[in-house]
């Protein structure tokens, strides 16, 4: 006899149904799992044996074969224990067949029969809904995240025995209830722009970046407030849509980083250190996991001390900055994760940090400064619309009263500018000004004659490239949106010109 049962495997953030067939046939005692299982799946055998032993169930001394299909997809993860165990219970006629055809099972087994938490329960629940599975049996630890998906009966369970009794109709497991979400708790969501004294220019740049979704590079002497501003960015960015909440939560579910209540409803802020490896940023590794760039999806990826990152790590940013996705190569296949983040970076003007400081002398040589800056490649800088010179804070600045404007006031303006963009780009494939390129720029950023004259003068004065020109247009469009203006005007371009790339300040 053959028992059939269903679970999932993950490809990027999406789940795919895996059918498991379990057969017990006469022959030499063996327990084989076929269908491209990875080592964690193969080890299921020993965990299942242990759990069955704890339940007082002996596996027959026969040939046990577990087949995972489709056979040509790599199966990764520790969640295969539970479905295989239920398949065995079914083929051994310990549990009846009803319930099982419309159900998905996921869970890792402990040797004592306990069911342990897994990653990817949220994508599994979404998959269960789209593929019309009625029930989802998963570990207690994953109940909250799966409960956010409506239309599927989610049964969190603690122990294999409990689930067995439920399937035998001896007890009734209760379905998961959607938990209450408490107020924002992450530190970045509690930081406020009113803490930043002075720095009006940099704060304005942050507002423009938030409103148009522009990437931003801040350059300034140590202790001028660059990290402070970056950490406050998520507090002024437009709120997440429900689709974004789902996507972000799915990525965190796969990384095993969801909070207790099981959903992420605030913009993520990720700040990997410059010693982080390319794998930590991109994802992948031995067990395919989303990296920092994907964990920042929908929020901010902040790279502090940008030139300190190894160049090959910085180059990995290019694909996600262009496509909003990152593809990770695995042994025999590729995995693609979403990585549509807003890129915010900070750096000092020179290796010693003090180039341009009014009182502290710079001790770096021109050669050192050149090498430091050369670490940032042209193509990377091209993807950054706003280049902001952050001035040193003076003691007078620090003695100013706290800024009157707080993050909530700035966010209101950002929200209004963002609403104008969504309205304008309804028919286009984009949603914000930072995504304007090529023909879309011509269509959405028409310039009047005096604006064209100003741009021509600026391009001659600053030796502006075509890319630089487009960058100014995109930023000017956002500045116009913040002002509620229909068309780009001269003051918007003049302001946008202040955020152009300043390649090398003279000593
Ligand atoms: N504009 C400011 N308003 C209020 N406090 C400030 C300001 N700038 C700096 N500080 C104080 O200095 C500390 C360091 O600031 P921050 O870490 O943002 O500097 P930074 O520009 O990132 O420096 P570094 O180049 O060394 O990384 C802050 O924690 C804060 O206490
Ligand atoms: Mg800093």
3-state per-residue secondary structure call for 248-267: HHHHHHHHCCCCCCCCCCCC
Element (H, E) at 366: helix 366-374
Domain that holds residue 27: 2-167
Q: Is residue 232 part of a domain?
A: yes
Same domain, 92 and 224: no
C-alpha span between 131 and 77 (Å, rounded): 21
pLDDT at 101: 67
Position in ligand 1 atom list of the atom nearest CA 347? 25
Structure tokens at 322: 């262009």
Same domain, 228 and 294: yes
CA 411, 417, 420, 426 dihedral sign is: negative
3-class SS letters over 79-105: CCHHHHHHHHHHHCCCCCCCCHHHEEE
Q: Is residue 243 part of a domain?
A: yes
Q: Is 227 in the pocket of ligand 1 (CB under 6 A)?
A: yes
For 386-413, write each residue's pLDDT tens digit: 999 998 887 777 777 777 788 999 999 9
Which ligand approaches the C-alpha of residue 228 most closely? 1
Pocket test for ligand 1, best of 225, 372, 397 (most atoms within 8 A of CB): 225
Pocket test for ligand 1, best of 216, 224, 401 (most atoms within 8 A of CB): 224
Spans of the chain below 50 pLDDT: 504-507
pLDDT at 378: 81
pLDDT at 187: 58
CA of 419 to the centre of ligand 2 (A): 32
Q: Is 220 in the pocket of ligand 1 (CB under 6 A)?
A: yes
Position in ligand 1 atom list of the atom nearest CA 231? 18
pLDDT at 399: 79
C-alpha span between 37 and 465 (Å, rounded): 52
Task: Name the percent of the chain in helix, strand, coil, to the closest 5.
Answer: 40, 20, 40
Same domain, 214 and 143: no
Specify the CATH number for the domain of residue 324: 3.40.50.300
For 68-104, write each residue's pLDDT tens digit: 999 988 888 889 999 999 999 999 999 987 656 689 9
Same domain, 126 and 191: no
Same domain, 198 and 127: no
Position in ligand 1 atom list of the atom nearest CA 390? 21
| Spatial contact of 111 and 134, defined as CB atoms under 8 Å apart | no
pLDDT at 185: 59
In this structure, the strands spanning 216-220 and 289-290 are unpaired
pLDDT at 503: 53
pLDDT at 505: 47
Q: Is residue 494 part of a domain?
A: no
Q: Is the pTM of this model over 0.85?
A: yes
CA of 359 to the centre of ligand 2 (A): 20
Position in ligand 1 atom list of the atom nearest CA 198? 1
Q: Is 392 in the pocket of ligand 1 (CB under 6 A)?
A: no
Report the number of distinct structural domains present in the chain: 2
Same domain, 288 and 330: yes
CA of 225 to the centre of ligand 2 (A): 7
């Amino acid at each position: 006899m053959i028992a059939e049962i269903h679970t999932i495997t993950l490809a990027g953030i999406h789940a795919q149904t895996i059918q498991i067939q379990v057969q017990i046939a006469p022959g030499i005692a063996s327990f084989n799992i076929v269908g491209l299982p990875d080592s964690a799946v193969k080890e299921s055998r020993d965990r299942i044996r242990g759990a069955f032993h704890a339940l007082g169930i002996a596996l027959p001394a026969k040939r046990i074969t577990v087949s995972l299909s489709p056979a040509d997809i790599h199966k990764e993860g520790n969640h295969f224990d539970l479905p295989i165990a239920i398949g065995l219970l079914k083929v051994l006629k310990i549990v009846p067949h009803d319930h099982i055809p419309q159900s998905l099972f996921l869970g890792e087994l402990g040797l004592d029969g306990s069911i342990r938490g897994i990653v990817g329960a949220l994508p599994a629940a979404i998959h269960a809904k789209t593929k019309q599975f009625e029930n989802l049996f998963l570990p207690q630890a994953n109940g909250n995240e799966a409960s956010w998906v409506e239309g599927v009966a989610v049964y969190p369970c603690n122990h294999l025995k409990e689930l067995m009794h439920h399937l035998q109709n001896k007890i009734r497991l209760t379905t998961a209830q959607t938990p209450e979400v408490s107020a924002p708790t992450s530190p970045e969501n509690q930081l406020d722009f009113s803490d930043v004294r002075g720095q009006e220019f940099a704060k304005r740049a942050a507002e423009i970046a938030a409103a148009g979704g522009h990437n931003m590079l801040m350059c300034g002497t140590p202790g001028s407030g660059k990290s402070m501003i970056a950490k406050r960015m998520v507090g002024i960015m437009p709120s997440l849509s429900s689709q974004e909440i789902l996507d972000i939560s799915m990525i965190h579910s796969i990384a095993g980083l969801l909070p207790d209540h099981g959903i992420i409803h605030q913009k993520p802020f990720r700040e990997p250190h410059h010693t982080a490896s390319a794998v930590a940023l991109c994802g992948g590794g031995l067990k395919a996991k989303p990296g920092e760039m994907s964990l920042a999806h929908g929020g901010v990826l902040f790279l502090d001390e940008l030139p300190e990152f190894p160049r090959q790590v910085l180059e990995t940013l290019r694909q996600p900055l262009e496509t909003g996705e990152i593809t990770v190569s695995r042994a025999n296949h590729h995995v693609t994760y979403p990585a549509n983040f807003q890129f915010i970076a900070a750096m000092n003007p020179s290796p010693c940090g003090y180039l341009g400081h009014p009182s502290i002398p710079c001790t770096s040589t021109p050669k050192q400064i050149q090498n430091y800056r050369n670490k940032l490649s042209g193509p990377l800088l091209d993807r950054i619309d706003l280049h902001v010179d952050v001035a040193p804070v003076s003691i007078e600045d620090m003695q100013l009263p706290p800024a009157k404007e707080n993050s909530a006031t700035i966010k209101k303006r950002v929200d209004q500018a963002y609403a104008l963009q969504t309205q304008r780009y309804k028919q286009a494939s984009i949603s914000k000004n930072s995504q304007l390129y090529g023909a879309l720029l011509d269509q959405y950023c028409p310039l009047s004659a005096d604006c064209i004259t100003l741009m021509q003068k600026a391009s001659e004065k600053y030796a502006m490239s075509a890319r630089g020109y487009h960058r100014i247009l995109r930023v000017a469009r956002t500045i116009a949106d913040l002002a509620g203006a229909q068309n780009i005007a001269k003051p918007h371009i003049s302001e946008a010109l202040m955020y152009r790339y300043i390649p090398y300040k003279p000593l």
